[in-house]
Amino acid sequence: MAPLTEESLYEELTTLIRQLYHKGEADEIVETFQATLAANPTADARYGILTHWVDFYRLRKYRRDRQRRRPTYRERTTPCVACGYPVSHRHHVYDLATHGEHTQTVQLCANCHELQHLLYNALINESDYSQKLVNHMMYSGRVAPATFDQLLLWCRQTIAYEASKGWVSADKAGDEWVELRLHWSEFRRQSGAKS
Ligand SMILES: [Zn+2]
Ligand SMILES: [Zn+2]
């Protein structure tokens, strides 16, 4: 195996931090490490710092992953709370990295679960790709408007929670932003007119 270089350790460190923390928090931690490393002029000192913290975050990630227990039969056979499909997954409304298993979860089928994460990405990451997919689903006629309403509500709860932690801007859970990104009132008007 190739010896670990400063670059490869730094790479692993930042990857672990991004897996363990939400974006805003991860950026802060990475910046702190950048400053610490810049303040240590010798390669040995930087190497020591990197190996120590890579071990630390590896252990933390291992513990976190172990906390993710397998869902029970009862959970899997709980109908999707958004559309009623008979098999579901757990979706964490609040961030798992911060809350472990003691977190707010909802049971969603694979389709609603995907839609939930697409909605989140469309609002938070300003992803055009997610926005287009959400729009495609909104006007496919295959997802009930009430299902969309419920999923959007949870999505906004997630964002409001993350905003309360200072990770994201609170505007992103607001009516104006939802309107701007998803043209929600137009969708509600059209879906209301059809039913
Ligand atoms: Zn569903
Ligand atoms: Zn999820």
Going from N- to C-terminal start, the domains of the chain cover 6-67, 73-194
Backbone angles phi, psi at 103, to 5 degrees: -140, 165
Grade residue 167 by pLDDT with cuts at 50, 70 and 90: confident
Tell me the HSE value of 3 on the side-chain side, using a 13 A CA sphere: 3
Cα(109)–Cα(116) distance, integer angstroms: 10
> From the CA of 118, which ligand is nearest?
2
Please give the distance, rounded to the nearest whole angstrom, from the Cα atom of residue 83 to the centre of ligand 1: 4
Please give the distance, rounded to the nearest whole angstrom, from the Cα atom of residue 43 to the centre of ligand 2: 41
Whether residue 101 is predicted with pLDDT greater than 60 in this model: the reply is no
In the three-class reduction of DSSP (H, G, I as helix; E, B as strand; rest coil), residue 70 is classed as: coil
Q: What share of the chain is helix, strand, coil (3-state, %, to 5)?
A: 70, 5, 25
Residue pair 30/11 in contact (Cβ under 8 Å)? The answer is no
Backbone angles phi, psi at 80, to 5 degrees: -55, 130
Mean local confidence (pLDDT), 141-145:
92
* Mean pLDDT, the chain, integer: 87
Please give the distance, rounded to the nearest whole angstrom, from the Cα atom of residue 152 to the centre of ligand 1: 13
DSSP string, 22-58: -HHHHHHHHHHHHHHHHH--SHHHHHHHHHHHHHHHH
**Which tens digit of pLDDT belongs to each residue from 58-84?**
888 877 776 677 888 998 999 999 999
Query: Which is more confident, 63 or 191?
Result: 191
Q: How many residues comprise the chain?
A: 195
Cα(1)–Cα(161) distance, integer angstroms: 44
Please give the distance, rounded to the nearest whole angstrom, from the Cα atom of residue 92 to the centre of ligand 2: 5
Angle at 20 between CA 87 and CA 12, to 5 degrees: 125
Grade residue 154 by pLDDT with cuts at 50, 70 and 90: very high
Q: E strands within the chain?
A: 89-92, 105-108
**Which tens digit of pLDDT belongs to each residue from 39-52?**
988 999 999 999 99
Q: In whole angstroms, how large is the CA radius of gyration of the chain?
A: 21
Q: Is the pTM of this model over 0.85?
A: no
Mean local confidence (pLDDT), 5-29:
92
> From the CA of 103, which ligand is nearest?
2
Angle at 109 between CA 67 and CA 99, to 5 degrees: 25
